[in-house]
Amino acid sequence: MLAVEPTAAVAKPKPQGIAVFDLEPVNGVSADLAKLLTESLLTRLAKSRRFASVVGGSDIRAMLDMEQQKQVLGCGNEQCLAELGGALGVPLMMNPTLGLVGGRYVLNLKVIAVEEAKAKARAEGVFDNEGDLLSGLPSVVEELLAEMGGKAPAIAKPKPRSNAPLKWVGVGTALTGVVAAAYGFSQVQASEDAKDQRLPNGRLRTPNELAELDAVKKSMQTVGLIGSTMLVGGLVAWGLSLIQ
């Protein structure tokens, strides 16, 4: 019987470095917005753990001489970007743009493979306003990474908090409140009825005895009110556990 050699594990490709140009604002996009979005983009790329290094615009300018920096200003095609990538010593280049079209923001991300001098991946997002643009950036980055050969590592989401404790606390408090309210108010009525009843020997109650019944009545009123409050609070807690 022939021995079958185990198949060698396929080695995962090593992370590569990427240089990211400052996001280019076109057709009415403010420079401030482009700068803010550039920083968010760099942060997202770094957190994806897909790249050995993420070089930003300021780093690119520091690494290029004046002549090469002038070249960057007119650099838009794959061949030009690939040449700059070679000068920077990185295998990947990104050229992001942001423009306004019909009042909507259009974000384009393009990654160039330096050795091949061609686009490796593209992603586009269209957003109604700046708020949507900032909140939608992660999905555009994920789309780009997926096209490059695999999605970014999923970030573990916190498990939804169970509302069971709140629910049962609410139910328990409400039931306790019902019992307390029922007992308290029943004793209030019993104290009131006792004031008009004759004692077994037929005599009426003395002023001191009536005062004692009034004191009991007041204390039971307090118990009843506390029970009512507990009932309401318990019902509120139970209701909140259903909608959270």
Q: Is residue 130 part of a domain?
A: yes
Containing 207, the helix (H) or strand (E) segment is helix 207-243
Q: Based on the domain organization, do 60 and 171 belong to the same domain?
A: no
What's the rounded mean pLDDT across residues 28-40?
89
Bridge partners (DSSP) listed for residue 119: 112
Judgement on whether residues 135 and 201 belong to the same structural domain of the protein: no
Task: Give 155's pLDDT tier (boundaries 50, 70, 90).
Answer: very low
Per the structure, the count of domains in the chain is 2
Look at residue 68 in the predicted model and tell me its pLDDT: 60
Output the domain CATH number for residue 31. Answer: 3.40.50.10070
Based on the domain organization, do 129 and 175 belong to the same domain? no
138 & 33 share domain: yes
β-bridge pairing 92-94 and 24-26:
unpaired
In a domain, 57, yes or no: yes
> What digits encode the pLDDT tens for the residues 35-47?
888 888 988 888 8
Same domain, 22 and 130: yes
Q: How many H helices and E strands in the chain? A: 7, 7
In the numeric block, which tokens belong to residue 67? 């002549």
Q: Are residues 126 and 178 in the same domain?
A: no
183 and 238 inside one domain: yes
Asked if residue 219 belongs to a domain, the reply is yes
Determine the average pLDDT of the residues in 50-54.
85
Mean pLDDT, the chain, whole residue set: 78
